[in-house]
């Protein structure tokens, strides 16, 4: 069974990745040596770059053009990875919290009152309805006459 491809699948040789990133292959080798963008390796130890790696190489070029040092760029990429990891963790926690709230017997339910106000109800309870019947009768003569 083959693994599905995604943006992290290593598919590009160094020449193709360099062309996509608009860089020289030697630059990619240097970035790999210093740990800026580290591609995966094949069993023959050749570099294979993913679309994510190419995106990072383009980001490195952009940050470099803005005047950041290679160490500064490495730190920016590291912090961006940490932010993505933490955002994923927050999403997991939000899902877990939502699941727990849905299981809770104390979950609150809301209804609209007669005047349009919001009424909070306990789960399983109902809003009491007014069953009065009001009959409207038009007046035969206007007021004040």
Question: H helices then E strands: how many in the chain?
Answer: 4, 4
Is residue 9 a part of any domain in this protein?
A: no
Is residue 127 a part of any domain in this protein?
A: no
pLDDT of residue 98: 84
- The enclosing H or E element of 111 equals strand 108-112
Is residue 35 a part of any domain in this protein?
A: yes
Q: For 54-105, write each residue's pLDDT tens digit.
A: 999 999 999 999 999 999 999 999 999 999 999 999 999 999 988 887 776 6
Give the CATH number, domain containing residue 79.
1.10.1660.10
Return the SS3 of 105.
coil
Is residue 2 a part of any domain in this protein?
A: no
pLDDT band at 111 (very low <50, low <70, confident <90, very high): confident
Is residue 126 a part of any domain in this protein?
A: no
Return the SS3 of 122.
strand
Is residue 74 a part of any domain in this protein?
A: yes
Range of the domain at 21: 14-103
Q: In which residue are the tokens 């996509």 written?
A: 20
Non-local (6+) Cβ contacts of 24 within 8 A are 18
The answer, yes or no, to whether residue 19 has pLDDT greater than 80, is yes
Kindly report which listed range (31-35, 40-44, 70-74, 131-135) carries the lowest average pLDDT score: 131-135
Is residue 21 a part of any domain in this protein?
A: yes
Total domains present in the chain = 1
Is residue 128 a part of any domain in this protein?
A: no
């Amino acid at each position: 069974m083959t693994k599905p491809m995604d943006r992290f699948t290593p598919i590009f040789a160094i020449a193709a990745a360099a062309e996509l990133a608009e860089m020289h292959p030697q630059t990619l080798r240097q970035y790999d040596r210093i740990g800026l963008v580290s591609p995966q390796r094949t069993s023959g130890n050749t570099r294979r770059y993913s679309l994510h790696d190419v995106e990072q190489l383009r980001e490195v070029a952009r940050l470099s053009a803005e005047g950041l040092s290679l160490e500064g760029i490495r730190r920016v990429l590291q912090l961006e990875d940490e932010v993505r990891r933490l955002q994923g963790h927050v999403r997991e926690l939000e899902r877990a919290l939502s699941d727990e709230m849905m299981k809770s017997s104390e979950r609150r339910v809301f209804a609209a009152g007669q005047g349009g106000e919001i009424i909070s109800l306990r789960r399983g309870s109902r809003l009491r309805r007014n069953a009065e019947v009001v009959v409207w009768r038009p007046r035969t003569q206007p007021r004040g006459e």
